[in-house]
Amino acid sequence: MEQSRRITDSFPRRRRPGRAPGRAKGKLKGRGRPQPRSPPPGEQPSPPPPPEPLLEMLQRFDLAWEYGPCTGITRLQRWERAQALGLSPPGPVRDALLEHPDNP
């Protein structure tokens, strides 16, 4: 029985310089999860994450279709658009967004 030929059989194999033969592409030994890096000197550390109930409230606002689509705009822009359209978005969401302007 004859083995089927592939188009790649007619080309010579080439090895990349610096790559050991038999080593799997993309798999490096000794690598685990990346360790968090400390910020460089002179740079401010990131703000602490908001409390869990606040994140749940913002997630409910994000998933509520009654306030319109949420792609391509910020939460505050979406809240203001819903207010302008008379959809009465929740006030605590706006307060939270104004309280944490630097935290996306």
Please return the burial class of 54, using the count of CB atoms within 10 Å of its CB with bins 0-12, 13-18 and 19+: middle
Q: Where are the domains of the chain?
A: 59-103
Please give the pLDDT value at position 93: 92
Contacts of 75 (CB under 8 A, 6+ apart): 58, 61, 62, 93, 97
Which position has the higher pLDDT, 97 or 16? 97
Residue keyed to tokens 């968090």:
36
Please give the pLDDT value at position 28: 56
Which position has the higher pLDDT, 75 or 46? 75
Indicate the pLDDT class of residue 52, thresholds 50, 70 and 90.
confident
Please return the burial class of 67, using the count of CB atoms within 10 Å of its CB with bins 0-12, 13-18 and 19+: buried
pLDDT tens column, 56-68: 999 999 899 998 8
State the average pLDDT over residues 25-53.
68
Helix (H), strand (E), coil (C) string for 12-68: CCCCCCCCCCCCCCCCCCCCCCCCCCCCCCCCCCCCCCCCHHHHHHHHHHHHCHHHC
Total count of residues recorded for the chain: 104
